[in-house]
Amino acid sequence: MNCTQTRELIGAHLDGELDVMASLEFKRHVECCTACALAAERVEAVRSAVAVAPYYRAPDRLGLQIRAAMGREAGARAGGIGRFVRPLAVAAALVLVATLSWRVARSTGPSGGLERELVAAHVRSLQADHLLDVPSSNQHTVKPWFNGKIDFAPDVRDLADAGFPLQGGRLDYVDGHVAAVLVYRHKLHVINCFVWPAEGGASERATSVQGYRLLRFTDRGLMYWVVSDASAETLEEFGRAVRAVSPRVPGALP
Amino acid sequence: MRTEPDISRFESTVLVHLDSAYNLARWLVRSEHDAQDVVQEACLRALRSFDTFRGGDARCWLLKIVRNTCCTWLERNRRNEPEPLMDVELEQFASEAADPHLQMIRRVDAEQVREAIDELPAVFREIVVLRDLEGLSYKEIAVVAAAPIGTVMSRLARARKQLEERLAPRVAQGGLT
């Protein structure tokens, strides 16, 4: 191996890309050629310098956004909404939403507006940069983040064991309340769990608005509204998981 | 029609490489916000053509799609990015460069390295990122960058040469007087 050949193989040698024979020949040459040895050292210096360059990890919310977008796409496909049917489907959906909204408004009185507000907040949260103020799967990071921002203490727990990994939290404003929102994920579905202090007990109720499902319940003096595009069964399971892990602390919030 | 198990298989084989995808895009488009858009688009493209994925290395497969999405993005935003991701004729560097400033290169910090890599032409930047940050083999880089291995090797050598020249004076300016 001469100097020209050796110089060409410096990178491949350092990157471990040479086969055993070529590697041996390379080493043999470098041992007795100081010029090539120096050249190799220079390339190695650049290699180690580059190793300290930042490695950009994907932000947590990017994974959530992609999963949400995939879920929307999968939903559209599963529904068999083709390119040409889409305008029709949208028109039909609008009529349906209008009818539904009217019926919801009629059947539930003023709270129907709240449900629409929650769905709107859920949809808004799925748009870029709205989902999480504190992106973390660590409940010990998310819980203290709420301190001083709200006058109640939501029970922040990672429910990964039950199939609902915690994604983080944020503050939102619904129905004239500042709400703590705990964000969970179930497969491709984002679950927004709105929490604020309950004013009197409210019975558990599941509804659906604009294709989104909502579940309401109270637990330990807090009102929970869960919104997602996951199935009603999934939401019920989620509700059970939230209540199951809540420790019954004596003297907790009334 | 896509079924639920298909998506969970996509998550476990492809989406687990999200960090790699984002790192490459972030270095290529050089903006946090645009990198997120590019990666999201690339992932949806990947999902749509997941049927064509015939096993093998899912990371390379995803990186290739990310790279192509970046290409499209760079084309569209050519004003900010004068060098598209295609092979360009560059003058051959003299094999014997000036003083290598070996000691200086050994003292650079992360910010100086980041700047130096950012200033590389995109065609070199991607090879350095794939090799030295992502740890891909030459063969894998050849797949991702759709270039013969010989081209990968020569681009990598030239990229490192340029980095050496950029890093040495940077340290000299850095005030080690």
Mark whether A218 and A118 lie in a shared domain: yes
Q: Which 3 state secondary structure label does DSSP give A4?
A: helix
Residue A9, domain member (yes or no): yes
- Indicate the angle between helix axes A34-50 and B149-173, nearest 10 degrees: 80
How many of the other CB atoms lie within 10 Å of CB of B156? 23
**Residue B145 to residue B127: CA distance in whole angstroms:** 8
Mark whether A26 and A117 lie in a shared domain: no
Mark whether A27 and A136 lie in a shared domain: no
Mark whether A150 and A72 lie in a shared domain: no
Helices (H) and strands (E) in chain A, counts: 8, 7
B106 and chain A in contact, CB less than 8 A: yes
CATH number of domain containing A171:
3.30.200.100
The pLDDT of residue B82 is 52
Mark whether A119 and A164 lie in a shared domain: yes
Decide if B100 and A42 are in contact by the 8 Å CB cutoff. yes
CB A150 within 8 A of CB A178: yes
Residue A248, domain member (yes or no): no
Tokens of A153: 């203490």
Residue A235, domain member (yes or no): yes
Mark whether A45 and A95 lie in a shared domain: no
Owning domain of residue A84: 60-108
Decide if B19 and A57 are in contact by the 8 Å CB cutoff. yes
Decide if B157 and A11 are in contact by the 8 Å CB cutoff. yes
Decide if B36 and A7 are in contact by the 8 Å CB cutoff. no
Residue A225, domain member (yes or no): yes
Complex-level ipTM: 0.80
Decide if B113 and A17 are in contact by the 8 Å CB cutoff. no
Residues facing A81 on adjacent strands:
none
B75 to chain A, closest Cα gap in Å: 23
Instruction: State mean pLDDT over B162-174.
Output: 74
pTM: 0.57
**Residue B48 to residue B140: CA distance in whole angstroms:** 23
CB B25 within 8 A of CB B125: no
Decide if B132 and A53 are in contact by the 8 Å CB cutoff. yes
B156 and chain A in contact, CB less than 8 A: yes
Query: In chain A, which stretches have pLDDT less than 50?
Result: 80-85, 101-111, 250-254
Decide if B8 and A50 are in contact by the 8 Å CB cutoff. no
The A134-135 sheet, strands edge to edge? A134-135, A166-174, A177-186, A189-197, A222-228, A212-219, A205-209
* Partner residue opposite B153 with nearest CB, options A11, A41, A187: A11
> What are the tens digits of pLDDT across the range A182-197?
999 998 889 999 999 8
Residue A251, domain member (yes or no): no
Mark whether A85 and A118 lie in a shared domain: no
Largest CA distance in chain B: 67
B78 to chain A, closest Cα gap in Å: 23
**Residue A67 to residue A228: CA distance in whole angstroms:** 13
- DSSP run (H or E) holding A58: none
* Partner residue opposite B95 with nearest CB, options A7, A43, A74: A7
**Residue B49 to residue B68: CA distance in whole angstroms:** 14
Mark whether A17 and A95 lie in a shared domain: no
Mark whether A180 and A193 lie in a shared domain: yes
Residue A95, domain member (yes or no): yes
Final residue in a domain of this structure, among A108, A123, A143: A108
Mark whether A101 and A121 lie in a shared domain: no
The pLDDT of residue A81 is 43
Q: What percent of chain B has pLDDT over 70?
A: 75
Residues facing A207 on adjacent strands:
A214
B157 to chain A, closest Cα gap in Å: 7
**Residue A172 to residue A237: CA distance in whole angstroms:** 24
B45 to chain A: closest CA residue:
A70
The pLDDT of residue A86 is 52
Residue A253, domain member (yes or no): no
> What are the tens digits of pLDDT across the range B131-151?
999 999 999 999 999 999 899
Inter-CA distances, A203 with A184, A206, A215, A225, Å:
23, 10, 10, 12
Q: Which runs of E-coded beta strand occur in A145-220?
A: 166-174, 177-186, 189-197, 205-209, 212-219
Mark whether A129 and A181 lie in a shared domain: yes
CB B175 within 8 A of CB B107: no
- Name every residue whose Cβ is closer than 8 Å to that of residue A46 and which is 6 or more positions away in sequence: B105, B160, B163, B164, B167
> What are the tens digits of pLDDT across the range B26-80?
999 999 999 999 999 999 999 999 988 888 889 999 999 999 999 989 888 865 5
Angle at A160 between CA A154 and CA A163, to 5 degrees: 115
Mark whether A123 and A238 lie in a shared domain: yes
Write down all domains in chain B, each with its CATH number in brackets. Answer: 7-77 (1.10.1740.10), 96-171 (1.10.10.10)
Look at chain A and report how many structural domains it folds into: 3
The pLDDT of residue A65 is 83
